[in-house]
Amino acid sequence: MCAIRTMIKISIKNYSLSFKNIQALKNINLDINTNEILGIIGPAKSGKSSLLRAINRLCELDNAIKDGDILLDDTSIYSLSVNELRRRIGLIFAMPIVLPGSVYKNITYGSKLQRKFKKNELDELVYFALNAANLWDEVKDRLRDSASLLSGGQQQRLCIARTLALKPEVIMMDEPCSGLDPISTAKIEQTMLSLKDRYTFILVTNNTKQAARVSTRVAFFLSGELIEFDKTEKIFTSPADKRTNDYISGRFG
């Protein structure tokens, strides 16, 4: 049996973030391995979403001030072009928001920004993305219909497909199932697990059971600080920090 070397995909080093004098993240140190699903849990305002927006530099839209660095494959994200960074690290928002237009247009939007595609290349891309997102069978006859006609769960998977079409390396999800019913939630979790070997996932969730179901490792955040970070099993059976324990057992949240 050969040992699988874990490679670090994203390395967060001494990273702090603040907006308008509120500190959202305080001195975070965290390494994310390739092909793992990292679950990030914690109560509201703990900095979970800010972390995701820091990694793809979306926080710059809110005039955030940062300190420290974040590395993607050993290169600082600040030395990459921001557009390229965002293609390599995709972000799925909590509310499934589809862009106006057809299913087909939604999927190809990001890719068409990069270069000119031939028609059959686009078709293949759409098939690939929808298939990977487990949505192909449900929409294959409705590709030209407006994306807003899909159900909530389908729209969220469409958002995933839209991101997959860019062939990212990392996929970040910010509470992706918060507005969805259990069946849609299950489908999305299934998708994550099926894609795990090809991508790295960062999943922010306020549903600890979901984190327990799908994550490889779990990080617990509280008020902008990283409190504890370990394998899923360890966090949920014997967490080292009392605060982690309290949160997981529901004493606060």
For other proteins, the binding residues (CB under 8 A) are 56, 58, 61, 83-84, 86-87, 90-91, 93, 95, 97, 99-100, 109-110, 113-114, 159, 162-163, 166
Per-position DSSP letters for 19-64, written without gaps between them: ETTEEEEEEEEEEEETT-EEEEE-STTSSHHHHHHHHTTGGGGGT-
For the bound state, the minimum distance from the C-beta of residue 237 to other proteins, rounded and expressed in Å, comes to 35
Nearer to other proteins, 110 or 239 (CB): 110
Closer of 54 and 212 to other proteins (Cβ): 54
Closest distance to other proteins from the beta carbon of 58 (Å) = 6
Return d(Cα 179, Cα 94) in angstroms, integer.
Answer: 8
Taking the complex as a whole, how short is the minimal distance between the CB of residue 161 and other proteins, in angstroms?
12
Report the distance separating Cα 148 and Cα 216, nearest Å.
34
Question: Could you tell me how many helices (H) and strands (E) the chain has, helices first?
Answer: 10, 10
The residues facing 30 across adjacent strands are 12
40 vs 235, beta carbon nearer other proteins:
40
Count of other CB atoms within 10 angstroms of residue 171? 23
Minimum CB separation of residue 56 from other proteins in Å reads 6
At 142, list the tokens.
Answer: 């409705």
Nearer to other proteins, 173 or 235 (CB): 173
